Structure 1
Amino acid sequence: MADQIIFAIPKGRILEEALPLLARVGIEPEPAFSDEGSRALRFATNRPEIGLIRVRAFDVATFVAHGAAQLGIVGSDVLMEFDYSELYAPVDLDIGHCRLSVAEPAAMAEGDDPREWSHVRVATKYPNLTRRHFEARGVQAECVKLNGAMEIAPVLGLSSRIVDLVSSGRTLKENGLVEVETVASVSARLIVNRAAFKTRAADMAPLVEAFREAVGGRRAA
C-alpha cells in the first residue's frame, strides 16, 4: 500500500518489551516477525494500513526523521544522541529502562574522583551526547567512536573510560569495569515524524493516543 503507515521497531533489547505494547494498541505482526532466523526487514500486520520494519535502534530514528517511516519506538539515548528536529516524541512508553553511564577499570576507580577530571578519553557510540555531558561540566572529552564491544577498549588501551548503556551491570563486571558516573536515565519513546503527524493527523493522532492509553493502562494494572 502506497499510503501505508510504516512503523519502525528496533532490534535488540527493546523489542521483547515492545511486542505486548503493540498488542495492547491492536497491532499484531505477522508470524515471521518473531522468527529470529528470518532475514526479512519488512513485515505485514493484522491491520493492512500499518506495516512494520525491524532495524537497528540507531536507524529507527533516522528512518522516522527522514520520513521513510512515520512512527517508531526508540530509546531516549538515541534521541539525545541525534537530536533530530524532525522527530516528535509524544509518549514515554515506560519500557526499555536502563542508564547511560561512564565506566572505568575497577583499579582506576579506587583512587579516582570524577569531580577532578579536566580531560577524558572515552570510547562510546554516543559521541555527541558524551561531549555535551562533559562540556556542561567543563571537562574536555576526546571520544573514540565504536559501535560495540565497548568494554574491551580500556583493557586494550584504546581509551581509559567508556560511556555505554548499563542495565544489570553484569557485562561491566565481567570485563573488570565499574560505573563511576551516570550520564542519563533511559527509557523507550514513541516517536513520530513531525510532517507526517501534521499531514496525516486523522491516521496518526489516534495511534499516538492509543499508545498513551496503553501505557496508562499498563501502569495501572
Structure 2
Amino acid sequence: MTSSSPALTEPTGPIGTRLDAIASTTRLRALTHSSWAASPGDSYERYELLGDAVLDLALGAYLLERFPDATQGELSRIKNQVRSSRFCSIVARNEDLGGRMRDSALGEKYAETAKQLSFNRSVLADLAESALGAIFLEAGWEVAREAAVTAFAPLVDHALDPRIDPKTALQEILQRQGRRVAYELVEATGPAHARHFSVVVIIDGDVLGEGEGVSRRAAEQAAARRALAAIDAGDAA
C-alpha cells in the first residue's frame, strides 16, 4: 500500500467536509480497512476507538441540553439507539464513507474486497466513528463535536418515533452495549382461532420484561416495551 491520499469524493455532510480538510495521511488511515493496511496501526481501528468516545460525549452533551427534563435512563436509551450500528451506518452512507474507503484500497488486488466491505453495515458504522476520531486528532474537540452533532442530531427524532417497534429499539440499544437478548415463550393457551401467548425477554440471563398478546410476535413486542421501560427507569444495569 502506498501513502497516497484517496481521491476525494464530493462532500455530502459535515463529517465528509471536515474529513477532507485534515491531513491526507490521517484521512487515508481513517478510511483504510485492516484487509489492506500495511500494518495493524495503519488501519482505521485505532481511530475508531477514539471516535467512539468522541461520539459518546458529543451526543451525551447534546441530549442533556435538548431534553432538560429527561431521566438518565431515557437519555441513555436515546443515545444508545442513535449510536447503534444501524444509525452509524446511515450516517456513513450519507457521508459516502464507503466510497471513500473503496478509494483508499489502491490497486486491483483489494478492489473487490473493498467493494463488498463498503456495503457492510458494521464496517460503515466503524468508518463513521473512525472519521470522527481522525477529525478530533487533527482539528480538535469543537470541530469534531460540531461534525458529530450535525450529522447525528437528525436521527434523534427518528429514535423518538413511536412507530419504531420496541424489539428493534431494544436490539439496537443492547447491540451497542455488547449484551445479548432472547425471547422465551412461557405459555400458549386457547383454541387455534383464539390463541393467547405469554413471553419473557431475557437480557444477559435475567428476565427484564414480560408480555402477552394474541400472537407470539405481539407478546414479544409487549415484553420488549416493558424492558425498554425498565431501562428508562434505571432498573437495568
Higher CA-based Rg:
2
Asked if TM exceeds 0.5, the reply is no
TM-score, normalising length: structure 2: 0.21
TM-score (normalised: structure 1): 0.22
